[in-house]
Every structure is written in structure tokens, then in C-alpha cells.
């Protein structure tokens, strides 16, 4: 009797233990800590819990992700990596080369990711052919935002070439309006620069310059023209722009103090939060020229031990690319879904434009990674380019000198 | 046994902190030196590749700016803060009635963190919000004070804010020094009819040499490790015009995943500190032994 009882108890214990193993666990390191972003992550947490998983949140705020990367480094060096980490672009490959990323091809193939993700975006999620990361959203970087009222009262249409932009800006300046709302921080200078570069170099030239780092393109006459246009743009910002945060520049467009802003679609969130209506109060358009610069947030999956953690990783990957999360998250964040088969009924007109442009540019090969937002190049090279861009924009350096420095800086960063 | 304890207790008590300093200060200096000789990017690697990181460092125009900013900032900050501190101390030393209150007021900036100082001065110096807008509002439309947004002048705004922060502290140091000078000598000089300014230049200030040295050491290490003030006041901008070696190192290590480059800049910073501190230590130790 006694031994029978013991056997029953140990049997229950075994059942309980297997149940515990099967329960998916995920520790997620991310830096979505501000209001709207935190809300977006909460959606994923709830969905994860609803599927029987236990989510350990590890938000690290500060430094635009720098603090999170420092935390990640410490965790990886101590041999205790989190399940999933908010990483993007070439940083994923950089971590893969350290040999710490997991293979989630099974999940990707079971859910047909290859069919629903644009090729160039899927390319970032693969490490030597195996899937190692899951995309969350697509931010478009090459947007130009405008105050509808200001444009109308000055008889100006959304510019479709940089010459038109310059003409419109000169006219606005004469009317006493700041043509371009801009914040003088290095990454904002780089954001404007890459929009100008895409317009002037064209998609192929952009790819050669900022993806392949082709020296001939970096030192070409077209690149001199890009810096010339940047010098012209410098004349269109107010004298007080240094160090201004991007959302304050957006506010200047909102209240009619300034006419245009060149910024990624997170600026739309600011307009929306202030109760402005796209198409009526503010206008959105791609910056002059062809192509689409994307900034894709993703979760990289790290090698973890234990079946519960592996199960958690698989569940997380499946949910992140799932239709429901892609819709809800991107409605909250102002970006568009990375997968192309999500119904867009609830999205605003700017997001619809972004989605149709993404599909079109994916077909003709002009869907390109943003260099200014760490999608095209590794940190050292992107930083070296930004140093030159911001030094040129904030001084009286000539375009020819800037191009020379650009080639040197890129060579030096290798 | 008791005798052994008596002899060795000090060593035993000091041992843990000695080991801690050995590992966490000198150990990590050695580690940084090692890493600065490698091609480390995202994570540290330990294969020595020679002086490539130092070559890259001195080829970088941004490091040139950061390094020369260190000397512009360091020299002006230390010199002006010491002169201002000394003048304030001498003025306060004239047995004025409200000395306690004034001394407190001048010392208060020291109680603020550099981040607060930087943010406050960012607003004060912002041409559209602060001083320039204020004076223009008073009816001087041509008044211009745009140092904060002028890449050639921005480094001086950091000097201004740092002096505002630290000169009160230097004043307190000097005031203590002034009070410690033997009153008998001063009285004797006054009896002999020597003018007050001569008393200061010939008797009091020379006898305060050690205080000058400590003020110099305190200010110079503040200057070399300056980081938070720059981040709060200019963020290194416009462009990278106000970068300092510390902000350069941070950008390389934490934003760009270029640890080898960061380590080499840290080593250069340390050498600058050594160039200042070693002669000081040498003279201190020699005077004690001799």
C-alpha cells in the first residue's frame, strides 16, 4: 500500500515536471519603454500569456538602445543570454558572427515567412541562410511632412523634386515661414542626408554608396551634388536648430511655424497624438525621388538552454510575425506591418501609402535599408559617415572636402 | 600570537581594499591596454594586432576635434576658475558682515549635478529662448549671442557652465587657505605700512602654494573626465564641435560597437592624466622623504 502510494505520488510529480517543461518561457530584452511603445509591447506580452507562456520582461531604457546593448553584452559574456532581444539590421549578423544566435528556421518555414515578407527585409532576418530573427514592423524613413494650411495659403504643392523643394522653400522664407523644421542632432542630420542622397543618387547609387561602400560612388560628382543640396537645406532651417529634439521640430510644423519636416514615420505619431488628421491638417509624401528607405525593428533569437525556453522562443517568433500582432502593434506605433498580407482597413492614409510604396519598390528593387537608422551598415561605418555629414552640415566645409573626408572616414572605420 | 596580531592587523585590514584596487583599477587598466591593441568590435577579442587602433584614432578628424577641445576647455576652465575663485576668496576675506550668506550662495552651484547645470545653461544660452531673446525683447534687435549654436564658439559655452559650477568650490578652498596664513605676519606687514595688495601678492598668495596645487589637481581631473556637462549642454554638437575624449570614447564603446577604438582613446586619456598627476606625486613623495 505504502509503496503503491509512493509510486502514485512520484507519478504525479513526473506529470507535473513535464507540464513545467512544456510551459514556454521567454525573457525579452527590449528598449520600447516610452508611452506608445510600451503599450505596443504589452500587446505581445498579453498574447504570449494567452498562449500559456511566461514572459519575463527586461526593458532597458536610455541612449536609444545603447543601454540595452550594454546589458546584452554583459549577459552574453556571462553565458546567460536572454531568449529574444530587440535588435536590427546588420547588428543581427554581428551577433551571429559571435556565435550566439539560435536557428528558428522551423518556425519560419512552418508559418511561411518567406512568402509574406519582402525579400530585402527577409534578408536581414537570415544568418547564412537560416532564420535567426523575426521582424516586427517597417518604419519608412524618407518621409516629408508638411503643414497643409501653410502650403495652401502660400500656393505650394508637395515637392516632387529637390529643385521644386528649393523653390518652395525660398518662397516660404520670403513669406516669413521657416521652410524646414529640423533638429541639429547628428542622427537627424543623417536622416535628412540619406533622403537627399536617395533622391539625387537614385536607388542604385544609394545602394552602391551606403550598402556596398563603393569608393567610386562615395567620391562621385553626384555625391558632391548631395552635399551641395545639404548646404542649401542648411539655409532653410531656423538659426536656433542646434540640439533640438525631433518631436519639437514636428511641433513646429504642427503649429504652422515651419512648413516641412523630413523625418521617419514616427513623426506621424506626434501629429496623431495632437489630434491632427492626415490629408487635412498635415500632409505626408515620400521625399523627392524614387525608392523606399526602411527601418525594421526585429527580435533576434539567442541560443538558450532548456526545452521551456526553446518552446518560448518558438512561440514568441510565431506570435511576432503573426497577423494579429503585426496589425495591433503597428497601429499603436505608427509603422506598417512587415508582412504584406495583413488587412490594412484600420490604418491611416499615410500608412496605406507607405504599404503600397513598399510593395512597389520591393518589386522593382528599390526597397533599401536606411543607413541613418542602422539598417544598411555596421555601427562603425555608419557612425563614420554620420560624423562627416554632421560636420559638413554644421560648418562651412565645402562639398568637395566633405566628399574627400567621407571616403577617408569610411576607409578608416574598417 | 597577540604580538603577531598587533604587528599584522593593519595589513590584514587593508588587504581586501588593496586587492580590490589591484584588480578593479590596475587590473582593468591592463585589460583596456590589451584590448586597445586588438581588433575588438562588438565584443572584446584578445588577439594582439599592434597599434592599428591608435593609427585609426589619430587619423580621425573627430578625435582631433575632441582632443584639441580637451586642451582648450581644460586650460580655460582651470585658469579662469582659479583666478575667479581667488578673487572671490580675497573679496570675501575682507571681514564683511554677510560673509556666511554670500559664501553659501557661491558654493551652491557645486551642490547641483552637472546634468542640471548643463540643462539650465542650455536654456539660458539658447538664442531663441534665453539671453539673446531676452535682450532683443528689451529693444536691442541686433544683439547676438549664439555661441551655443555656433560650431566655432560652442566649446566656450561649456567652459562658461563649468566655471559657473566649480569656481565657488575653488573659492572655498582658497578662503580656507587665506585663513590659515599666520595672522602675525600679516599684522607685522601692516604695522610696517605695506599696502594691502602687496600683502596679498608678496605674503599670502605665495604661502598658499599647496592650495593652488590641490585646486589644480581637482580641476584638471574634472576637466579630463568631463562628460555629463557636454551631454546635457550640447550633446557634443553642433556636429561634433564640442566632443571631448570622454564623449568620443562613449560613442565608440556603446553606440558604435567599436570597443578597440574606445579602448585606445581611453588609454590616451589616461596618459594625459598621468602627465599631470605623476609630476605632482613625484614632488609630493620627494618632499616627504627628503
CB distance A66–B261 less than 8 Å? no
CB distance A243–B237 less than 8 Å? yes
**Which residues does chain B have within 8 Å of residue A385's beta carbon, measured at their own beta carbons?**
none
Cα A159 from Cα A165, distance rounded (Å): 5
State the distance between the two ends of chain A, measured CA to CA, in whole angstroms.
74
Q: Which residues span the domain enclosing B268?
A: 64-289
CB distance B238–A378 less than 8 Å? no
pLDDT digits (tens, 9 = 90+) for A343-402: 998 999 999 999 999 999 999 989 999 999 989 998 889 999 999 999 999 989 999 999
Query: Do residues A314 and A386 share a domain?
Result: no
Q: Is there a domain that residue B14 lies in?
A: no
Mean pLDDT, chain B, rounded, equals 89
Q: Is there a domain that residue A17 lies in?
A: no
Strand A126-127 to A367-369 pairing: unpaired
CB distance A379–B62 less than 8 Å? no
**Which residues does chain B have within 8 Å of residue A70's beta carbon, measured at their own beta carbons?**
254
Q: Is there a domain that residue A259 lies in?
A: yes
Please, what's the b/e burial string for A275-307 (b: 16 or more CB within 10 A of its CB; e: otherwise)? ebebeeebbbbbbbbbbbbbbbbbbbbbbbeee
Q: How far is CA B245 from the centre of its chain?
A: 13
- Which residue in the set B236, B239, B254 is minimally distant from A63, CB to CB? B254
Task: Indicate whether A21 pLDDT > 80.
Answer: no
Q: In the predicted model, what is the mean pLDDT of residues B233-250? A: 89
Q: Is there a domain that residue A13 lies in?
A: no
**Number of structural domains chain B divides into:** 1
Residue A394 to chain B, least CA–CA distance (Å)? 5
Q: Is there a domain that residue A269 lies in?
A: yes
- Which residue in the set A73, A76, A394 is minimally distant from B237, CB to CB? A394
> Percent of chain A at pLDDT above 70?
94
Please provide residue A402's backbone torsions phi and psi, each rounded to the nearest 5 degrees. Answer: -60, -45
Query: Do residues A78 and A31 share a domain?
Result: yes
Residue A183 to chain B, least CA–CA distance (Å)? 10
Cα B228 from Cα B235, distance rounded (Å): 9
**Which residues does chain B have within 8 Å of residue A390's beta carbon, measured at their own beta carbons?**
237-240
The residue behind cell 565584443 is B43
Query: Do residues A168 and A257 share a domain?
Result: yes
Give the three cell numbers for residue A259.
512648413
pLDDT of residue A4: 52
Q: In the predicted model, what is the mean pLDDT of residues B77-104? A: 90
Q: Is there a domain that residue B248 lies in?
A: yes
Residue A302: CATH number of its domain: 3.40.190.10
Task: Indicate whether A17 pLDDT > 60.
Answer: no
| Res. A63 pLDDT band, cuts 50 70 90 | low
Residue whose C-alpha is closest to residue A365's, from A297, A292, A294: A292
Q: Is there a domain that residue B1 lies in?
A: no
pLDDT digits (tens, 9 = 90+) for A78-121: 888 999 999 988 989 989 988 899 999 999 999 999 999 999 99
Q: In this structure, are residues A297 and A68 in contact, taking their beta carbons and an 8 Å threshold?
A: no
Query: Do residues A108 and A183 share a domain?
Result: no
Q: Is there a domain that residue B28 lies in?
A: no
Q: Is there a domain that residue B12 lies in?
A: no
Query: Do residues A281 and A305 share a domain?
Result: no
CB pairs under 8 A between A and B: 99
Q: In this structure, are residues A184 and A244 in contact, taking their beta carbons and an 8 Å threshold?
A: yes
Q: Which residue of B has its CA nearest to A383?
A: B256
Our CA angle for A282, A287, A290, nearest 5°, is 140
pLDDT of residue B146: 86
Domain boundary among A353, A369, A391: A353
Q: Which residues span the domain enclosing A330?
A: 23-139+296-353
Cα A409 from Cα A413, distance rounded (Å): 6
Q: Is there a domain that residue B49 lies in?
A: no
pLDDT of residue B229: 92
Query: Do residues A68 and A30 share a domain?
Result: yes
Domain boundary among A335, A353, A371: A353
pLDDT of residue A15: 42
CB distance B149–A242 less than 8 Å? yes
Q: Is there a domain that residue A94 lies in?
A: yes
**Which residues does chain A have within 8 Å of residue B126's beta carbon, measured at their own beta carbons?**
240
Q: Is there a domain that residue A11 lies in?
A: no
CB distance B256–A77 less than 8 Å? no
**Which residues does chain A have within 8 Å of residue B41's beta carbon, measured at their own beta carbons?**
94, 378, 380
pLDDT digits (tens, 9 = 90+) for B169-202: 999 999 988 888 888 888 888 888 888 888 888 8
Its pTM stands at 0.85
**Number of structural domains chain A divides into:** 2
Q: Is there a domain that residue A34 lies in?
A: yes
Report yes or no: A390 at the B interface, CB cutoff 8 Å: yes
Q: In the predicted model, what is the mean pLDDT of residues B22-41? A: 93
Report yes or no: A192 at the B interface, CB cutoff 8 Å: no
Residue B268: CATH number of its domain: 1.10.3720.10
Domain boundary among A316, A336, A353: A353
Amino acid at each position: 500500500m505504502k509503496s503503491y502510494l509512493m509510486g502514485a505520488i512520484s507519478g504525479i510529480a513526473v506529470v507535473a515536471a513535464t507540464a513545467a517543461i512544456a510551459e514556454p518561457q521567454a525573457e525579452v530584452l527590449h528598449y520600447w519603454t516610452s508611452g506608445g511603445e510600451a503599450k505596443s509591447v504589452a500587446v505581445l506580452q498579453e498574447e504570449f500569456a494567452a498562449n500559456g507562456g511566461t514572459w519575463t520582461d527586461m526593458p532597458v531604457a536610455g541612449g536609444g538602445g545603447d543601454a540595452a546593448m550594454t546589458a546584452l553584452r554583459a549577459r552574453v559574456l556571462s553565458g546567460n543570454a536572454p531568449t529574444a532581444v530587440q535588435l536590427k539590421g546588420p547588428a543581427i549578423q554581428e551577433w551571429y558572427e559571435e556565435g550566439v544566435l539560435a536557428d528558428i528556421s522551423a518556425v519560419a518555414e512552418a508559418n511561411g515567412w518567406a512568402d509574406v515578407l519582402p525579400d530585402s527585409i527577409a534578408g536581414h532576418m537570415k544568418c547564412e541562410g537560416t532564420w535567426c530573427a523575426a521582424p516586427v514592423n517597417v518604419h519608412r524613413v524618407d518621409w516629408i511632412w508638411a503643414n497643409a494650411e501653410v502650403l495652401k495659403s502660400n500656393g505650394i504643392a508637395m515637392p516632387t523634386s529637390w529643385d521644386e523643394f528649393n523653390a518652395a522653400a525660398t518662397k516660404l522664407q520670403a513669406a516669413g515661414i521657416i521652410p524646414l523644421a529640423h533638429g541639429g542632432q547628428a542622427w537627424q542630420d543623417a536622416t535628412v542626408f540619406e533622403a537627399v542622397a536617395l533622391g539625387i543618387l537614385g536607388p542604385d547609387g544609394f545602394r552602391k554608396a551606403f550598402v556596398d561602400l563603393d569608393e567610386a560612388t562615395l567620391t562621385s560628382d553626384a555625391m558632391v551634388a548631395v552635399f551641395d543640396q545639404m548646404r542649401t537645406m542648411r539655409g532653410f532651417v531656423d538659426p536656433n536648430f542646434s540640439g533640438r529634439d525631433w518631436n519639437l521640430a514636428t511641433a513646429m510644423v504642427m503649429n504652422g511655424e515651419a512648413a516641412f519636416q523630413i523625418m521617419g514615420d514616427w513623426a506621424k505619431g506626434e501629429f496623431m497624438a495632437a489630434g491632427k488628421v492626415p490629408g487635412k491638417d498635415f500632409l505626408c509624401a515620400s521625399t523627392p525621388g524614387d525608392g523606399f528607405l526602411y527601418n525594421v525593428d526585429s527580435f533576434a533569437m539567442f541560443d538558450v538552454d532548456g526545452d521551456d525556453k526553446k518552446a518560448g522562443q518558438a512561440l514568441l517568433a510565431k506570435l511576432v510575425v503573426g497577423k494579429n500582432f503585426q496589425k495591433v502593434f503597428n497601429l499603436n506605433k505608427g509603422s506598417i506591418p512587415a508582412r504584406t498580407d495583413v488587412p490594412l482597413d484600420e490604418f491611416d492614409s499615410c500608412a496605406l501609402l507607405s504599404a503600397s510604396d513598399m510593395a512597389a519598390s520591393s518589386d522593382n528593387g528599390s526597397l533599401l535599408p536606411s543607413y541613418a537608422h542602422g539598417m544598411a551598415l555596421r555601427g562603425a561605418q555608419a557612425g563614420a559617415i554620420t560624423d562627416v555629414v554632421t560636420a559638413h552640415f554644421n560648418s562651412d566645409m565645402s562639398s568637395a572636402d566633405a566628399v574627400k573626408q567621407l571616403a577617408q572616414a569610411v576607409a578608416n572605420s574598417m | 600570537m597577540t604580538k603577531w596580531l598587533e604587528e599584522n592587523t593593519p595589513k590584514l585590514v587593508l588587504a581586501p581594499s588593496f586587492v580590490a584596487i589591484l584588480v578593479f583599477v590596475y587590473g582593468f587598466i591592463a585589460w583596456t591596454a590589451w584590448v586597445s591593441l586588438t581588433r575588438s568590435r562588438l565584443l572584446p577579442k584578445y588577439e594582439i594586432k599592434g597599434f592599428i587602433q591608435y593609427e585609426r584614432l589619430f587619423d580621425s578628424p573627430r578625435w582631433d576635434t575632441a582632443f584639441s577641445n580637451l586642451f582648450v576647455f581644460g586650460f580655460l576652465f582651470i585658469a579662469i576658475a582659479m583666478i575667479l575663485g581667488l578673487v572671490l576668496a580675497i573679496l570675501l576675506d575682507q571681514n564683511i558682515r554677510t560673509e556666511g550668506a554670500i559664501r553659501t550662495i557661491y558654493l551652491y552651484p557645486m551642490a547641483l549635478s552637472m546634468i542640471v547645470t548643463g540643462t539650465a545653461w542650455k536654456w539660458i544660452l539658447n538664442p531663441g529662448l534665453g539671453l539673446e531673446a531676452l535682450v532683443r525683447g528689451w529693444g536691442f534687435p541686433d544683439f547676438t549671442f549664439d555661441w551655443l549654436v555656433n560650431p566655432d564658439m560652442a566649446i566656450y559655452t561649456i567652459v562658461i557652465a563649468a566655471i559657473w559650477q566649480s569656481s565657488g568650490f575653488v573659492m572655498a578652498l582658497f578662503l580656507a587657505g587665506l585663513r590659515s596664513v599666520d595672522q602675525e605676519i600679516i599684522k607685522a606687514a601692516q604695522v610696517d605700512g605695506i599696502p594691502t595688495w602687496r600683502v596679498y601678492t608678496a605674503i599670502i598668495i605665495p604661502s598658499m602654494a599647496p592650495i593652488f596645487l590641490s585646486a589644480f589637481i581637482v580641476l584638471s581631473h574634472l576637466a579630463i573626465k568631463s562628460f555629463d556637462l557636454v551631454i546635457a549642454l550640447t550633446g557634443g554638437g553642433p556636429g561634433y564641435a564640442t566632443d571631448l575624449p570622454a564623449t568620443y570614447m562613449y560613442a565608440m564603446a556603446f553606440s558604435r560597437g567599436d570597443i578597440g577604438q574606445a579602448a585606445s582613446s581611453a588609454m590616451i586619456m589616461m596618459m594625459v592624466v598621468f602627465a599631470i598627476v605623476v609630476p605632482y606625486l613625484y614632488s609630493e613623495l620627494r618632499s616627504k622623504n627628503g
